[in-house]
Amino acid sequence: MYVDRLRIRQPGDAQFALGPHVDGGGIERWEDPEYRSCYTPIFEGRWEENDFFDATHRVHAHMSLYNAAGCCTAFLSWQGWLSLSTVNPGEGGLLVNPLLKFSTPYWLLRPFFTRNKTDGDWEIDTSSVWQGAVPGRGQEMNDSLHSELQLSTSMISIPTVHPGDMVFWHCDTIHAVDAVHRGQSDSSVFYIPATPLCQINVDYLVQQRDSFQRGIPPPDFPGGEGELRHVGRATPEDINTLEGRRAMGFEPFEIKSYMTPGEKEIVSKANTTLNL
């Protein structure tokens, strides 16, 4: 389990206005060799062949090379949140660009091209300009830097959600939230991404487990003492189920007979890393 945030957005709010962006690092997608390998067909001009669901390189990618506060260092195969309220389109909810296969090659190749000011045609750009990718921050998009994405019209609101509805989107998906919450009640969610069992996630779980026991924020989140001095804060003893204790790194993962050799290997390594 990747312990993430809770968001409560009140009607009329225009402060929590996340524009189009992609999580999971920014410049790292180009700079880190392993991360870059996730998109080899795209960079080789075979963008139609890129498999966005192949995790071969993602499970080893370094998504935070600059140790910036708030940057994710775990592999989240699916971004996700659990709705705590009824939210209609335009009421402070989620917008996504649904064209994953087409939009991703565009913004990955965008830094290598520029508009010719004379005739408007595209030409090779060998400058150090990386549109929307600043070291230590996520990948951001806008109509100025990524005009062909037509973000002002291609970002689609998800359908109405109710308390208990779970929403997932691919880790390369461009997403945003409504600029203004125009509803009549709060728009509240728990951020709960999908975190597959792999070595970088187990390494993170070790740190997260330690942070939980100490009552401080997990390593991917801004500093501060968190609940360190809170009376009655949660402790490992408050986690009563096997599944919950396992998700938080307090019980070993189970090796099952139907698992593949690779699955059995990572489960065994995970238990060793967790010292269980």
How far is residue 171's CA from residue 77's CA, in Å, rounded to a whole number? 6
Q: Are residues 258 and 181 in the same domain?
A: no
pLDDT, position 159:
96
Please report, for residues 39, 64, 69, 200, the alpha-carbon distance to residue 35 in angstroms, rounded to integers and kept in the order given.
Answer: 8, 11, 20, 13
pLDDT, position 137:
84
Q: Can you give the pTM of this predicted structure?
A: 0.91
Q: Are 28 and 64 in contact, with CB atoms under 8 Å apart?
A: yes
CA dihedral 221, 30, 132, 180 (to 10 degrees): -50
Residue 7 domain boundaries: 1-196
Q: Which of 196, 214, 248 is the last residue of a domain?
A: 196
Q: Are 80 and 206 in contact, with CB atoms under 8 Å apart?
A: no
Q: Are residues 191 and 228 in the same domain?
A: no
Whether residue 189 has pLDDT greater than 90: yes
pLDDT (tens digit per residue) in 96-108 = 999 999 999 999 9
Which has the closest alpha carbon to 168: 53, 57, 16? 53
How far is residue 206's CA from residue 273's CA, in Å, rounded to a whole number? 8
Q: Are residues 42 and 145 in the same domain?
A: yes
Q: Are 130 and 112 in contact, with CB atoms under 8 Å apart?
A: no
Residue with tokens 């989240």: 76
CATH code, 160? 2.60.120.330
Q: Which of 175, 196, 217 is the last residue of a domain?
A: 196
Whether residue 69 has pLDDT greater than 80: no
Domains contained in the chain, number = 2
pLDDT (tens digit per residue) in 3-58 = 998 999 998 888 877 899 999 989 999 999 999 999 999 999 999 999 999 999 99
pLDDT (tens digit per residue) in 134-173 = 888 889 999 999 999 999 999 999 999 999 999 999 999 9
How many residues are present in the chain? 276
* 125, burial (CB in 10 Å: exposed 0-12, middle 13-18, buried 19+): middle
Q: Supply φ then ψ for residue 41, to 5 degrees.
A: -55, -35
